[in-house]
Amino acid sequence: MSATHRKTLPLHDAAVAVARVLLDAGYESYFAGGCVRDRLLGGVPDDYDIATAARPDDVRRLFPKAQGVGESFGVMLVRHGGHEFEIATFRNDGEYADGRRPNDVRFSDAREDAFRRDFTINGLFEEPSTGRVVDFVDGQSDLTNRVIRAIGNPNDRFAEDHLRLLRGVRFAARFGFALETATAAAMREHAGKLAVIARERIGGEVRRMLEHPTRVAAVQLLEEQGLDAPTLREPARVSPSLARLVRLEGAVAGDLSDVGLLDRTVPVAAALAAWALDRHGPNVGESVIHGWREALLLSNRESVETLATLAALARVRHWSELRESARKRWAASPMASWAQTLFAVESPCGADNLVRWRRQTDPATIAPPPLLTGDHLIRAGFAPGPQFRELLDAAYDAQLEGRVGNAADALELVRSSAGGPSESTANPRPDPSQG
Ligand code: ATP
Ligand code: MG
C-alpha cells in the first residue's frame, strides 16, 4: 500500500483498499454504521468507519502509521488515499456507570458489536468488496419503514448513555423518520438525565441539528420529547410557534423574495436567534443567549453573532424612522440579512419596504471606504482625541447620504459642525490625496 499512499483516491475505493488489507490478513471486517445507512438511503457516504476482528496491535502491525485515537475502545485512525478511516475492533461496551461512558470494553465479535450500537439503522454492516449487507438488528426493515428504533430495550439503552436521546432526535429529523413508540416513550422518560452529559457534547448535537436543513423538525421533536428544557437549561416551551425557524428554512429553500441576499446555508447563530425568538417572543433578552452560551457551550463567535442578529432585528423594526445613513449602516452590519429574514415573520410589510430599498440602493454605496479618515483630521490640525470618532461618524453619515462627495467637502463639514480649526487657523500639511 505504501506506493499508493500519497495518491488521492475516491473515498469508497480508499475505504475498500483499507478493508482489503485487514481481510487479506484474515480478519473479518465490515463497513459499519452511518456509511451503510447512508448508502442504503441512496446517499453517498462522506466517511467510512471500519469494524474488524483485528485488535489494535494487529491494526498497527498492518498499518505502521496507524494512530490510536481511542485505543482503550480499540479505535485506530488510518490514512489512505488522502482520506482518514477509523478502524474499530468489534467490541461490547460492558456496563455504564454514569450515563456517559462504558466502564470497560471487551473485544468481541461482529454480532455483539452491532448490538452495542444505538439505533437499528446505525447497526448495519456491509461487506466491503461485495456491498452485501450484514444485518443483526433488523435495521434494514426500519430503514424501509422510516423508523428510529433503539437496539434492544430502549429504557436500558437511554439509561446507559443519555447522549443517545439527542442522537435519536437528530437522526429522526435528518431523515424524516418517525420515532418508534417504545423508543419515543423511553426518551421522554429519560429526558431529565441529559443534565449529567457534558455541555460540550449537548452543544455539539444541537449545533448539528440546527446546521441541517431539517432544523425545524429537530426542534419540534426536541420539544415534543421534553428534551428542550434539559438541553437549554430553561423551562420547557409553552408557545407553539416555530415561525422564525420555518422562515429560515424557507429562505434557504429558495421560496422567498429576499433569497438573493442570503447564503445557501444558515449559520448556527441565525438559527439560534430564530429559535430564541420563537421560544421567548420578539423581545427575547440577551440573558437568554447568555444562558444558552453556557448550556450549549457556544463559541464566542456563535454567541456574538446570535446577539448581533437579535440587535439587527431590534433596529430594523424601526426601519421607517431610520435615516438613509442609518439604513446603510444597518445593511452593512453583521447578520443583517438574517435579521431581515426573521423580520419578515413579524412584519411582512416592513420587510417588503426593506427589500425594495435594497433593490433601489446601489450596493457599492452601502459600505464605501470612508472619504475622511483620522489622518485627514490630524493633517488638518485637529488634536487626536475621543471626539475623533464622532467627527468621523458625522462625516461618514454625510458621505452615505450623498451630502459630501470628496474628502475636502467632508473636512469642511466637520470643521463647521465641530467649530474646530478653520482653514485660516489650522496649519494643514499638504494632503497627497487632494491633487
Ligand atoms: P453521522 O453521519 O452523523 O456521522 P453516524 O451514524 O456515522 O452518523 P457517528 O457519531 O459518526 O454517527 O457514529 C458512528 C457509529 O457509531 C454510529 O452509526 C453508531 O453505530 C455508533 N455510535 C455512535 N455513537 C453512539 C452511542 N452514543 N451509542 C451507541 N452507538 C453509537
Ligand atoms: Mg459518522
* pLDDT at residue number 426: 43
Give me ligand 2 centre to Cα 371, in Å: 52
Q: Among candidates 268, 267, 263, 269, which has minimal Cα distance to 251? A: 263
For residue 122 and ligand 1, the question of a CB distance below 6 A is answered with: yes
Give the residue whose CA is nearest to atom 30 of ligand 1: 117
Confidence of residue 318 (pLDDT cuts 50, 70, 90): very high
C-beta of residue 268 within 8 angstroms of C-beta of residue 302: yes
pTM for this predicted structure: 0.88
Confidence of residue 254 (pLDDT cuts 50, 70, 90): low
For residue 305 and ligand 1, the question of a CB distance below 6 A is answered with: no
Q: Among 40, 69, 118, which residue has the most ligand 1 atoms within 8 Å of its CB, making it the best to mutate?
A: 118
Give me ligand 2 centre to Cα 47, in Å: 7
Give the residue whose CA is nearest to atom 2 of ligand 1: 34
Give the residue whose CA is nearest to atom 4 of ligand 1: 34
CA distance 403 to 416: 14
Question: Is pLDDT at 240 greater than 70 in this prediction?
Answer: no
Domains of the chain: 1-137 (3.30.460.10), 146-220 (1.10.110.30), 245-365 (no CATH), 374-434 (no CATH)
Question: Is pLDDT at 434 greater than 60 in this prediction?
Answer: no
Is 155 buried (19+), middle (13-18) or exposed (0-12) by CB count in 10 A? middle
Give the pLDDT confidence of 49-64 residue by residue, as tens digits.
Answer: 999 999 999 999 999 9
How many other C-beta atoms lie within 10 A of the C-beta of residue 355?
Answer: 17
Encoded amino acid at 354, one letter: L
Show Cβ contacts of residue 252 under 8 Å, excluding neighbours closer than 6 positions. 213, 259, 262, 264, 265, 266
Q: Which atom of ligand 1 is nearest to the CA of 160?
A: 28
Q: Which atom of ligand 1 is nearest to the CA of 33?
A: 18
Q: Among candidates 387, 358, 388, which has minimal Cα distance to 373? A: 388
Q: Among 44, 47, 117, 209, which residue has the most ligand 1 atoms within 8 Å of its CB, making it the best to mutate?
A: 117
